[in-house]
Structure 1
Amino acid sequence: MKKITIAIDGHSSCGKSTMAKDLAREVGYVYVDTGAMYRSVTLYALRHNLFNADGSVKTAELEQQMPQIQISFKFNAETGRPDTYLNGECVEKEIRSLEVSNHVSPIAAVGFVRTAMVAQQQQMGKDKGVVMDGRDIGTTVFPDAELKIFVTASAEVRAQRRFDELKAKGMPADFDDILKNVQERDYIDSHREVSPLRKADDAIELDNSYMTIPEQKQWLMDRFKEKIE
């Protein structure tokens, strides 16, 4: 059976990663969480004081340190999913914090950061048989992907999902703060100069506001089967 490249783009907290991870596991493909890559750079920047007081990025210092930032994924047998590693340290939990969420969009808007991440992502997916999710996979990273999905849901639904996810992990969460973060990220992601978030012309749109995870999973599997058959 021929292997294809699957690009799943969409807004923050709309369940892209869950869908992508599940599909990759079901069909035996490699899964790459590109959002985790930008979150890892953000975590590095927070730890190394690379933000100004107003939340903007100290770009000159970050650019100098980019060669020291190595991101990799290792399969976790317990969860059945890959964990994210920053310079050899598992940071899967740390990168999901609200502090990282609040700082990731400015990092992801920096041109040299995107160039470095896109190059790594293209290398990871060069042999096909990959499911990748993010903001610009179908438009910039893999414009020739055989299957492109664009996922969306209302900001309120996405904020509630994020709130529930953080509470389930025992992490602090305030719904209003999360909703504000979701709305701000939507604006920054859609208006940045480099690779803004937009639906690729040949992408299939999915509004999953009122779908269960099993329904989303089945919908995506059906699109996959249509494409490979």
Structure 2
Amino acid sequence: MTRLLIAIDGPAGAGKGTLARRLADYYHLPHLDTGLTYRAVAHMLIARGWPLGDAPHAIEAAKLVDLSALDRSVLSAHAVGEAASKVAVIPEVRKILVDKQRTFAAQPGGAVLDGRDIGTVVCPDASVKLYVTASAEVRARRRLAEIEAKDGSGDFATILADIERRDERDMGRADSPLKPAADAHLLDTSEMDIEAAFCAARAIVDDALAKRDTA
């Protein structure tokens, strides 16, 4: 079997998670949302009443994370996401989780991983690297639509400010900042729905496979 490893990076709300799941299904590959691994650490800290900024407890939680038991329905809570971006700046936590993510990526047939540092740190040798982005305003509108679709309510300005703060944390951290890999394909989804983004991403992957097969 030809090994295919797809690395997808990008800021929150750009659509990389949905895109990664679609690509994994299409190419029959296992998928890992690496953001859930950091959310799992944060959720464990919150559940046990441990302070988020306490590195020893965060490191202990990271060691306990089981990639086969990540519950998206629990870990997708907004408060968990906010907490995750804070524990993600702890270098030893990142090291532990990156090791787990690399083990997942090393499966014989390949895999699809999405996150913030897949193409740059976790899988620099990936077959295809995508950097999926969208304007902060578009991402805020999408987030508000998601909340309202679940019969919730939110304020656009508050959500936008939250996204901008999160971008600043992710892009400004000293260890593994969010940025496109030098050889990543940039995919701006600001004007795309998921179907258009999927078709564009699939074309990039298919082109890379074709070039590899004829090399």
Aligned positions of 1:125-140 closer than 5 A: 125-126=105-106, 127-140=108-121
Gaps of 5+ in 1: 74-84
Higher strand share: 1
Equivalent of 2:179 in 198, 203, 227: 198
Task: Return the TM-score normalized by structure 2.
Answer: 0.90
Q: 1:112 to 1:214 in 2, by over 3 A?
A: same
RMSD: 1.7
Q: 1:173 to 1:46 in 2, by over 3 A?
A: farther
Task: Return the TM-score normalized by structure 1.
Answer: 0.85
Distance 1:173 1:97 in 2: 14
Deviation at 1:195, TM superposition (A): 0.7
Deviation at 1:114, TM superposition (A): 0.7
Q: Which residue of 1 aligns with 2:57?
A: 61
Moved more, 148-157 or 160-169: 160-169
- 8 Å Cα contact 2:45/2:61 also seen in 1: no
Gaps of 5+ in 2: 211-215
Say whether residues 1:5 and 2:1 are aligned partners: no
Deviation at 1:65, TM superposition (A): 4.2
Equivalent of 2:65 in 62, 65, 70: 70
- 8 Å Cα contact 1:189/1:197 also seen in 2: yes
Percentage identity across paired residues of the two chains: 35
Instruction: Classify the secondary structure of the residue corresponding to 1:38.
Output: helix
Say whether residues 1:208 and 2:182 are aligned partners: no
Q: Which residue of 2 aligns with 1:166?
A: 147
Higher helix share: 2
Note the alpha carbon deviations across 1:48-99, whole angstroms, 9 max, x for none.
2223xxxx611123224443x22324xxxxxxxxxxx35xxxx322222221
Instruction: Classify the secondary structure of the residue corresponding to 1:151.
Output: strand
Aligned positions of 1:40-51 closer than 5 A: 40-51=40-51
Say whether residues 1:25 and 2:21 are aligned partners: no
Amino acid corresponding to residue 113 of structure 2 in structure 1? M
Instruction: Classify the secondary structure of the residue corresponding to 1:7.
Output: strand
Matched length: 209
- 8 Å Cα contact 2:62/2:97 also seen in 1: no
